[in-house]
Chains A and B, each alone.
Chain A
Amino acid sequence: MSSGLSRGQRVFEIFNIVFLTLAAFACLVPFIHIVAVSFSNSAAVQGGMVNLWPVNFTIEPYKYVMERGEFWRSFGTTLQRVAIGATLNVLLVVLTAYPLSKSVRKLKARTIYVWIFFFVMLFNGGLIPNYLLVKELNLLNTIWALVLPGAVPVFSVILMLNFFREIPDELEEAAYVDGAGHWRILFQMYIPLSLPAVATISLFAIVGHWNTWFDGLIYMKSENYPLQTYLQTIISSFQNMESLSATDLMSLANLNDRSIKAAQLILGALPVLCVYPFLQKYFVKGIRLGGVKG
């Protein structure tokens, strides 16, 4: 207390820390609770005894989920969409951002191109024409329905081109004088210099594809649902608990609906948790470059 804080200031600091701790706790509690439910014994869950710590620890719910074909099948679809979709996203973002990062002097038609991409942020055809288009292209129930419509994420393009712009022009000029064309300059100079930005957009693409569920719901048949869509169907049955046959089966196995759903939610969130440290590292930089620059 050498800084000589007045009493009022000390009270404020304590209040502030307590308040922020409570807020942070409020953000975490729901997840802790769900983890606790997923690891708790059926009787304890149904008796409402589980708060923030598992009661009568068990891994039965996870075992049950892991033994289900649907879970693994949807997991496979998701892996596929993440692999193809994110690769495509990153490739297209880099290819689109590089020319658009050039000045009008170097790319005469830049303004026209920018408007073509910008307008997509302003207006869209809405759900119905998008659905009908995918249907008429015969993409329904294929992985391409999940991957192609969002293949050019304009927000990431903006983020990437802002990053490219920070690379000094002289570097490009020097490379050009040495005989390098734009392709070489992009792949051998710009991309290696922009690895943090490439990492950011890759993470956004991966998490985005992992989290998206609505396109799965409208474009895929239920046996090909990606994981989040599969989880969505489980959650919507939360509301009406009348699915008796399923519940009966589970009570036979000494399991309960809530724990199984909790276990599946945890499994659906786990990968995001795993990349979270990386997300955190890059994303402050990302939002500064991409959206609000102040």
Chain B
Amino acid sequence: MLKRKQLKRELPLHLMLVPGLILIFIFAYIPMSGIIIAFQQFNPVKGLFGNQQWIGLANFEYVFSLPNIWQVVWNTLRIAIMKIVAGMFVPIVFALLLNEVRQVFFKRITQTIIYFPYFLSWVILSGVLIDMLSPSSGLVNTLLNTLGFESVYFLGNNNWFPATMVVSDIWKNFGFNTIIYLAAITSIDPVLYEAAEIDGANRWKKIWHVTLPGMQTVIILMMVLSLGSVLDAGFDQIFNMYSPQVYESGDIIDTMVYRMGLLQAQYSASAAVGLLKSGVSLLLISVSYYSAYRLFDHRVF
């Protein structure tokens, strides 16, 4: 009797979940199982779950026989890891510096400005950057020329392209991450600063012994969580700024999957690359969430 009452009370909760579950099932779980085409000779006419020919690991063998595959993997790791490292460091420094500013108005204005690019799409930002970085007419090269330097083809030179991606990614995102660290600083107990002052600590000592330890949890948590993006070099950004002349340094797994799969219609081979990437990412993200959970009791849900 009691159980029935409980069920009746629970029923609306289940009903509320139905639309979300159906959509997730169709648009997330079906594509997940659709990844089996990586083991098939996919024929579009027969359809996603049609009677396709199974060819085992042939697609993977083909992918690894491609001459540029390791270059692409290396490019991905290089750009992604540089972004993670620099993307940790820069916001921490800015949060510390902003925290030292005592003019509230100046602090607020600066915050407002630095996280503006975060909300714009890479399409817009790439358009802006391509114009700014143009070797003939761009503002950056005009400035370099005025200072007596040669023009640099940031987006067309393999020596410069990865660094340009890293710097522009930081330009877009550092404001957002600065806010996260600033929030961590704000939650530090002011009593600690007062105690440090009584002990005669100067500004640096306070930063070193109070502020940074107070941010420690968030810093390590962010580091752990960033592990999951080691294979994400930033498709949106690179796709909008690269060109065949910088494939050597800028072609990443995601852009390769796009070209192979959708431009050349090599569905199966491209899905094989995608599966490898998703698989490794699953492992990395799981490890990162699990560590975050064990270390800091960080729960996603």
What residues of chain A have their CB less than 8 Å away from a CB belonging to chain B? 9, 12-13, 16-17, 19-21, 23-24, 26-31, 33-34, 37, 46, 48, 51, 92, 95-96, 98-100, 102, 106-109, 113-114, 116-118, 120-133, 136-137, 148-152, 157-158, 161, 176, 181-183, 186, 207, 210-214, 218, 228-229, 231-232, 234-236, 238-240, 258, 261-262, 265, 268-269, 272, 276, 279-280, 283-284, 287-288, 291-294
The interface residues of chain B, by DSSP majority, are classed as helix
B246-284 interface code vs A (CB 8 A; 1 in, 0 out): 000000001001100110000100110011011001100
In the complex with contacts A113-B17, A132-B48, A148-B27, A127-B175 CB distance below 8 A: no
Measured CA separation A116–B254 after assembly (Å): 26
B150 interface residue, CB < 8 Å from A?
no
Measured between beta carbons, the chain A residues less than 8 angstroms from B68 are none
CB–CB A20/B278 < 8 A: no
Give the residues in chain A near B227, CB-CB below 8 Å: none
Q: Does B236 contact A (CB under 8 A)?
A: yes
Can you offer 29 A-B residue contacts whose CB atoms are under 8 A?
A: A13-B102, A17-B101, A34-B127, A95-B20, A99-B14, A100-B17, A108-B10, A116-B24, A117-B20, A125-B32, A125-B34, A125-B274, A126-B278, A128-B34, A128-B37, A128-B261, A128-B267, A129-B274, A133-B30, A148-B27, A152-B24, A183-B12, A214-B239, A235-B123, A238-B130, A261-B127, A269-B120, A288-B183, A294-B217
Q: A122 and B286 in contact (CB under 8 A), knowing A30-B132, A292-B218?
A: yes
Q: Are B16 and A128 in contact (CB under 8 A)?
A: no
Asked whether A265 and B128 contact (CB < 8 A) given A125-B278, A126-B275, A284-B183, the answer is: yes
For the complex, is B85 an interface residue (Cβ under 8 Å from A)? no
Q: Is B66 an interface residue (CB 8 A)?
A: no
With both chains docked as a complex, state the minimum distance between the C-beta of B214 and any C-beta of chain A, in angstroms: 10
Known contacts being A12-B203, A116-B24, is A131 close to B262, with CB within 8 Å? yes
Complex alpha-carbon distance, A247 and B183, angstroms: 50
Binds A, one of B70-78, B105-113, B191-199: B105-113
A16, A33, A108, A283: which contacts B97 (Cβ < 8 A)? Answer: A16
A34 touching B257 in the complex, CB below 8 Å, given contacts A27-B117, A106-B13, A107-B10: no
Q: How large is the interface on B (under 10, 10 to 19, 20 to 34, 35 or more residues)?
A: 35 or more
Which one, A124, A150, A176, contacts B31 given CB within 8 A? A124
B187 at the interface (CB under 8 A from A): yes
Asked if residues B35 and A125 are in contact (CB atoms below 8 Å), the reply is yes
Give which listed residue, B100, B120, B262, contacts A127 with CB less than 8 A.
B262
- Determine if B200 is an interface residue (Cβ-Cβ < 8 Å): no
Q: Any chain A CB within 8 A of the CB of B63?
A: no
Which of A99, A231, A268 is B16 in contact with, Cβ under 8 Å?
A99
| A151 pairs with B27, CB closer than 8 A | yes
- Would B203 and A292 count as touching, CB distance under 8 A? no
* A239 close to B130 (CB less than 8 A): yes
8 Å CB interface, B229-244 against A:
235-236, 239-240, 243
A136–B47 touching, CB < 8 Å: yes
- Decide: A129 near B24, CB < 8 A? Known: A268-B124, A280-B112, A294-B221: no
Q: Are A294 and B218 in contact (CB under 8 A)?
A: yes
The residue in chain A whose Cβ has the minimal distance to the Cβ of B296 is A294
**Interface residue from A9, A158, A182, A283 paired with B203 (Cβ < 8 Å):** A9
CA–CA, A3 and B120, complex, Å: 42
**Alpha-carbon separation in the docked complex, A29 to B123 (Å):** 18
Q: Which residues of B sit under 8 angstroms from A30, Cβ to Cβ?
A: 128-129, 132, 139
Q: How far is the CB of B268 from chain A (nearest CB, A)?
A: 8
- Contacts A120-B24, A231-B123; A236 near B240 (Cβ below 8 A): yes
In the bound assembly, the distance between CA atoms of A280 and B115 in angstroms comes to 9
- Whether B285 and A262, one on each chain, are in contact in the complex, defined by CB atoms closer than 8 angstroms, is no
- CB atoms of B131 and A262 under 8 A apart: yes
CB distance from A230 to the nearest CB of B (A): 9
Residue pair B32, A124 in contact (C-beta under 8 Å): yes
Q: Which 8 A-B pairs have the closest CB atoms?
A: A126-B274, A125-B31, A129-B34, A211-B121, A182-B12, A99-B13, A129-B31, A96-B20
- In whole Å, how far is A195's beta carbon from the nearest beta carbon of chain B? 19
Q: Take A126-B271, A132-B48 as given contacts and tell me if A121 and B123 are in contact as well, using a CB distance cutoff of 8 Å.
A: no
Given known pairs A96-B16, A99-B17, the reply for A128 and B32 (CB within 8 Å) is no
